[in-house]
Amino acid sequence: MEFTASGSVVGRAGPADHAQARPGAAALGLPAAGALLGGSALSLVGLTWDVQWHEDVGPDTFFTLPHLFLYSGSAVAGLASLAVVLATTAAQRAGRRVDPTLGGMPVGVFGRTFTAPLGYLVAGVGAASFLLYGLWDQWWHSLYGFDAVIDSPPHIGLLLSVTGTMIGTIVVFAAGRRHRWGPPGVVVSTAMLLAFSTVTVLGLQGLDGVVDAVAVGLAFLTTLLLVLASEFASRRPGGGLATAAVLALLQAVFWWFSPWAAHAYADLVGLPLRDYALAIPVMPALMPVCAVAVGALVDLPRWTSRRRTGPGRAAGLATGALGGALVAGLNGVQQHWLYGTHLPGTATLAATAALGAVAGLAAGLLGRGFGIMLRGVADVPAGRSAPGVPPGATAAATPVSPEGAR
């Protein structure tokens, strides 16, 4: 596996780089990035299946099939990241220029013992962390039993570890934004992270009071990731809406898949469904139905200002706050609609929506910044030398392979 620059380079790379480069390397970026995305998908499928299993069937062991999907997801992502880091390290040691569009700016690890593209480093650290928290979870269950509680400390540690891997996946696709597969990969991987995070925010349940802390956390993450996708798409408006549409697609697929998989697996192992099992898809029900509206909302300033100098900061802040208020305020309504639970009281709804607006405001600011950072993740700042990359190399000097040129 080669992770060095291809021979077709535009921009500021010098002649020496051409001499060191090898053709066709850019085409290998997609299989590696695809492996990360595949790992994320396995984790997502495993999570929705596992949550549904506990809701509708019940018994737990360390090696259920949904658990294996979760473990496999991190294993695939971790192995892919390790392979890329080793290949990049070998390329760097051989004196070949490392292509920053294949995983992001390369950084030195353990001094400069290893050279790791930023995205694969983040994804790999997430996978390694998952392994450690798996051990922590096993110890936890040996002490407390196999309670099927999603928001136990080790479970949240595991979910956060997968979150790290999924963030690394976004970085990898963002780095490849000049390749054909880069931008759609960012949309899909961001939607997958948002879908996955609907369970992670359940860790905030302990903070619930007058304000629905889970709804506020969901508002923050939804706004953050949709604004990030919108900002990353930059001059091509629609990143937020496209990401929300993929989330809606995942929601629809899992709405069918989750109960089907849980019940089919129960049949396979000869276990009955619980009495009073509602068979409502648990994880899809956590995903905000209003995300499509919020996606369109955060894209709105970009659409309306396309022919001018860009959306004003005030417009971005306002849409972020409104999006946050929508997600937070409608979360209780969605649960009432799906489960027939009591509607939250007026005070709770108002306080949750207000705090959601504040969270959305902050998320809008951060999401814009992260979107900008993602656009430049393959850039190496002028005057700073990353391992394997000559000073001054930027995304403008990225290799463009014949099949990846836009």
Q: Which residues in 227-256 contact another protein (CB under 8 A)?
A: 230-231, 233-236
Give the pair of three-digit tokens for residue 33.
């990035």
95 binds another protein (CB under 8 A): no
Per CB under 8 A, the list member of 4, 40, 48, 64 interacting with another protein is: 64
Least CB distance to another protein at residue 285 (A): 19
- Picking from 397, 383, 377, the residue whose alpha carbon sits closest to that of residue 176 is 377
Tokens of 29: 């970026």
* Nearer residue to another protein within complex by CB, 245 or 278: 278
Minimal distance, residue 344 CB to another protein, in Å: 16
CA-nearest of 311, 198, 213, 201 to 258 is 198
Out of 3, 49, 53, 71, point to the residue binding another protein (CB under 8 A). 71
The pair phi, psi for residue 404, each rounded to 5°, is: -110, -5
User: How far apart are the C-alpha atoms of 196 and 262, rounded to whole Å?
Assistant: 18
> Based on CB atoms, which residue is closest to another protein, 111 or 270?
270
Q: What distances in angstroms separate CA 7 from CA 16, 97, 161, one per listed residue?
A: 11, 11, 37
Q: How far apart are CA 39 and CA 37, in angstroms?
A: 5
- Asked if 263 is part of the footprint of another protein (rule: CB under 8 A), the reply reads no
Q: Determine, following the binding rule CB under 8 A, whether residue 180 of this chain makes contact with another protein.
A: no
359-362 long-range CB contacts below 8 Å, 24 or more apart?
359/216, 359/217, 359/219, 359/220, 359/223, 359/324, 359/328, 360/219, 360/220, 360/223, 360/320, 360/321, 360/322, 360/323, 360/324, 360/325, 360/327, 360/328, 361/317, 361/320, 361/321, 361/324, 362/220, 362/320
Judged by CB under 8 A, the chain residues 361 through 390 that form the site for another protein are 368-373, 375-376, 381
- Determine, following the binding rule CB under 8 A, whether residue 314 of this chain makes contact with another protein: no
CB count, 10 Å around CB of 314? Answer: 9
The only residue of 12, 93, 112, 306 in contact with another protein, by rule CB under 8 A: 306
Smallest separation (angstroms) from another protein to the CB of 275: 4
Q: Which of residues 141-160 bind another protein (CB under 8 A)?
A: 143-149, 153-154, 156-157, 160
Q: Which is nearer to another protein, 17 or 56 (CB)?
A: 56
Contact positions with another protein (CB under 8 A) in 30-59: 30-32, 34-35, 38, 42, 57-59
- Residue of the chain from 95, 310, 345, 391 that contacts another protein (CB under 8 A): 310
Choice from 167, 292, 355, 393 touching another protein (CB under 8 A): 167
Q: Which is nearer to another protein, 183 or 388 (CB)?
A: 183
DSSP H helices in 176-238: 182-200, 213-233
DSSP helix/strand/coil, 279:
coil
Per rule CB under 8 A, count of chain residues that contact another protein = 85
List the interface residues with another protein, window 110-129 (CB under 8 A): 122, 125-126, 129
Closer CB to another protein, residue 239 or residue 284? 239
* Encoded tokens for 123: 């994804």
C-alpha distances out from residue 283 to 31, 73, 226, 314, 323, Å: 29, 18, 19, 34, 21
The distance of closest approach from Cβ of residue 255 to another protein in the complex, given in angstroms and rounded to an integer, is 24
In the complex, the smallest distance separating the C-beta of residue 309 from another protein, rounded to whole angstroms, is 5
Residue 163 touches another protein, criterion: CB under 8 A: yes
Question: Is residue 239 within 8 Å of residue 233, measured between CB atoms?
Answer: yes
C-beta of residue 67 within 8 angstroms of C-beta of residue 50: yes
Cβ-contact 163, 73 below 8 angstroms = no
> Whole-number minimum distance, CB 244 to another protein, in Å?
18
Kindly tell me which residue out of 90, 109, 248, 271 binds another protein, with binding defined by CB under 8 A. 271
CB of 73: closest distance to another protein in angstroms?
9
CA atoms within 13 A on the CB side of 12: 11
Q: Which of 23, 108, 390, 392 binds another protein (CB under 8 A)?
A: 23
Least separation in angstroms between residue 353's CB and another protein is 25
Q: Is 68 in the site for another protein (CB under 8 A)?
A: yes
- For another protein, give the closer residue by CB, 58 or 248: 58
